[in-house]
Copies of this chain bind each other. A is one copy, B any other.
């Protein structure tokens, strides 16, 4: 694995093209991902992971770019993973987002990447944690995971983050839709974007009403920040609120709890993915024929597969 190791060294010492190739390895789910993650593991655990989600059209990419700018102003290294949970074969869909972020293209403390999971065993839910580990090991203090907010899938991806910011906008992805998608429960921060539009305050009021209705989280009450991503208005407050949440996570012990829960989910997802691979490989048809004939009991057949 000498080649991988030197590629790894290059990636970790700031070679963004080498870093990009490592993430392609993660996306492809090549067998060497496992080797790679094992090598990276001791260098991980430092990055703060921020999930940013919202319905299409709320200005997610523009806000992500503005947020990157705000973090850069504070001197921090930032990586963005744009993840589309709706399609395992996308990659192209978010290319536009990458182009819109070109203002940061020449800044080597910023790394932007859209993420697909062509062949990754376990899909995005299993691939995203590995991509986060790569960026973490490469020394990015902040990793922003941007996902399209369309339902349960993005709730799952957002839950990979230490802090989850939910983006709303007047007319699009409003509070009622967010409630339906089960997203109110996972939000640590609400950002109501397009604050220059007349209905923005109504979105804030709706949101307050819904948050008051729901059982409020113990300890941390998700604040609501209004922004205009195109002008940068409100972005400094977003950074302040996210920093406050980070401090709270550390002090309350919630960070440890969340990361433990994440590891549990990740392990389970990988175990199921590995089982799926065994089912494919294990000559299930032969076992099925015996079960259909009545010569093998299905429980035994299941165990045969499980034990590889």
Query: How far does the alpha carbon of A264 sit from the alpha carbon of B305 in the complex, in Å?
Result: 11
**How big is the A interface, by class?**
35 or more
Are A271 and B306 within 8 A (Cβ)?
yes
Give chain B residues whose Cβ lies under 8 Å from the Cβ of A272. Answer: 272, 275
Identify the closest chain B residue to A36 (Cβ): B297
A209 interface hit (Cβ, 8 Å): no
Does A27 make an interface contact (CB < 8 A)? no
Known: A267-B287, A275-B306. A292 touches B37 (CB 8 A): no
A301 x B260 contact (CB < 8 A): no
A271-B275, A298-B37 in contact; A292/B44 too (CB < 8 A)?
no
One digit per residue, 1 when the CB lies within 8 angstroms of any chain B CB and 0 when it does not, for chain A 257-289 equals 001111110111011111100110000110111
Query: Are A268 and B284 touching (Cβ within 8 A)?
Result: yes
Q: How far is the CB of A277 from chain B (nearest CB, A)?
A: 10
Minimum distance in angstroms from A121 CB to a CB of chain B: 10
Contact assessment for B266 and A291 in the assembled complex, using a CB-CB cutoff below 8 Å: yes
Main secondary structure of the interface of A (DSSP, over half): helix
Q: Would you give the 0/1 interface string for A29-47, flagging 1 where the beta carbon is closer than 8 Å to chain B?
A: 0000010011001101100
* Contact A271–B279 (Cβ < 8 Å): yes
- Smallest CB-CB A-B distances: 4 pairs: A270-B302, A263-B288, A263-B291, A264-B288
20 contacts between A and B (CB under 8 A): A34-B297, A37-B299, A41-B295, A42-B294, A45-B293, A262-B292, A263-B298, A264-B288, A267-B284, A267-B287, A268-B302, A270-B298, A271-B275, A271-B305, A272-B272, A274-B303, A275-B275, A275-B306, A278-B306, A307-B308
Binding site for B on A (CB under 8 A): 34, 37-38, 41-42, 44-45, 129, 256, 259-264, 266-268, 270-275, 278-279, 284-285, 287-289, 291-295, 297-303, 305-308
